[in-house]
Amino acid sequence: MKIMKVFSANKPVNMVCDKIASDKSISHRCAMFSLLSDQPSKICNFLKAEDTLNTLKIVEKLGADVSIDGNIVNIVPPKKVHEPDDVLDCGNSGTAIRLFCGFLSSLDGHFVLTGDKYLRRRPMRRVTDPLRKIGAKIDGREDGNLAPISIRGKELKSFHFESKIASAQVKSAMILAALRADAPSTYKEPELTRDHTERMLRGMGAKIESSEVIKIEPITKPLNPLDITVPADPSSGFFFAVAAAIVPDSKVVIKNTTLNPTRIEAYNVLKRMGAKVELIEKDNRYEPIGDIVVSYNGKLKGVEVSQKISWLIDELPALAIAMAVADGKSIVKNARELRVKESDRISCVIEGLKRCKIVCSEMEDGYTIEGGNLHSATINSYGDHRIAMSFAIGGLLADMVIEDIDCIATSFPNFIELLKELTEVNC
Ligand SMILES: O=C(O)C1=C[C@@H](OP(=O)(O)O)[C@@H](O)[C@H](O)C1
Ligand SMILES: C=C(OP(=O)(O)O)C(=O)O
């Protein structure tokens, strides 16, 4: 097991960063959606991290011709998706496995989706149940709840589905299924979740209307190919945003990131806690894109986070570090979904903070954190990239040993290289 030692530097963080990992959610979708066209797609700045490279390999196994030329990925789709002669390994990625469930359910052939030991523990009934209801032949351990998931493609019926879970993965799986259903479908979500799927498919020519419900028309011909530059990932950039917000006299500029409101809510919370946060919109292609500037603005204040949870779910572990050093108490509620991510992120955050001698307690759907001083600690990441990177940022204020750091490569392979620009790190 690889470990990393981060030594606190006691110096300001100053960084203009154009090397934040490319967006993971958008990269997965680029690879997968290229199969909906009959012409080559060109993807600039595709995220070359384990999760998204696994998705690209799956797209290849389904018959696409993939070539990587510097930071451009070219994908030539097959005339018809191939039935693979092997299982399709999604690695650590919930996004990949759940979206592929929807995508493959209506295609000719037999497909088996699997992943690493963490992914094989995550719940899949949230997609397999609604897909079965519209006719998909899909199964797995615990009656279709656990991977490996086996799918035999079949014609699907249109649907009018109201989801109880605010999940972009469930929504995307159902939209992908609806594209090949026998009539128009509708999908209603309890709150808007990240909408990259709708934006990108619409950009490719699909008829998807989003208002209170999402209306999806089946496609009658191949979609237009993608020609896209993937923006930086605001969830990855957020680790450095927290660094700027907690280390006196710091400033971090995260360049060319998506400013999609469903992705930057954690930055608004940092602002509510007292940090200075500016958004500079520069472009709009599929998504609004620009820079985010975060500066230290005095000690942070405790905050309550109980709304728009799906807009900041992935950033909550890093926000917990900010909460741990803020003045006063912070509360996170309505975040039960944290328990079914790469790890149980409620118990991992609380275990880690307790090791740093922060007073905190766990609730079923969140936690409370009394701000204080972080103390040096050894943190188990439990194989979860976001836990590893969050506590590594805590290392800027108190020396940290992070155990099990290979997982960082699932979303942000150059994270350690960037952290080394700020302080001493030994791996
Ligand atoms: O659709 C996506 O790309 C994602 C959706 C979210 O998961 P849920 O749909 O489970 O909320 C998020 O946590 C994940 O990192 C990426
Ligand atoms: C939850 C995450 O990803 P996924 O669900 O795709 O594994 C994440 O990156 O924090």
Q: For strand 160-162 and strand 185-188, is the pairing parallel, antiparallel, or unpaired?
A: parallel
β-pairing, 88-89 with 110-114? parallel
Where does 108-250 show beta strands of DSSP type E? 110-114, 137-140, 146-152, 160-162, 185-188, 208-210, 214-216, 227-229
Closest residue by Cα to atom 4, ligand 2, is 94
Element (H, E) at 5: strand 3-7
- Strands laid side by side in the 160-162 sheet: 160-162, 185-188, 214-216, 208-210
Ligand 1 centroid vs 338 CA: distance in angstroms? 11
* Residue with CA nearest ligand 1 atom 6: 168
Query: Under a CB-based contact definition with an 8 Å cutoff, are residues 115 and 100 in contact?
Result: no
Q: Probe ligand 1: pick from 23, 24, 25, max atoms within 8 Å of CB?
A: 25
The pLDDT value recorded for residue 285 is 85
Q: Which atom of ligand 1 is nearest to the CA of 170?
A: 9
Amino acid at 113: L
Could you give the CA distance from residue 205 to residue 122 in angstroms, rounded to a whole number? Answer: 33
Pocket residues: Cβ below 6 A from ligand 2: 92-95, 314, 341-342, 386, 411
The Cα-based distances of 400 to 5, 86, 322, 343, 392 in angstroms read 6, 41, 16, 20, 7
- pLDDT tens per residue across span 256-285: 999 999 999 999 999 999 999 999 999 988
Write down the ipTM of this complex: 0.99
Q: Which parts are annotated binding residues for 3-phosphoshikimate?
A: 24-25, 29, 167, 169, 314, 341
Average pLDDT of span 307-319: 98
What's the gap in Å between 310 CA and the centre of ligand 1? 8
Tell me: the pLDDT tens digits for 72-88?
Answer: 999 999 999 999 999 99
Instruction: Indicate the SS3 state at residue 310.
Output: helix
Q: Give catalytic residue positions.
A: 314
Predicted confidence (pLDDT) per residue in 111-164, tens digit: 999 999 999 999 999 999 999 999 999 999 999 999 999 999 989 999 999 999
pTM of the entire predicted model: 0.98
Structural domains of the chain, with CATH: 3-22+232-426 (3.65.10.10), 24-229 (3.65.10.10)
Residue 346 pLDDT level (bands cut at 50, 70, 90) = very high
Q: Whose CA is nearest to atom 15 of ligand 1?
A: 314
Map residue 59 onto helix, strand or coil: helix
* Secondary structure of residue 197 in the 3-state scheme: helix
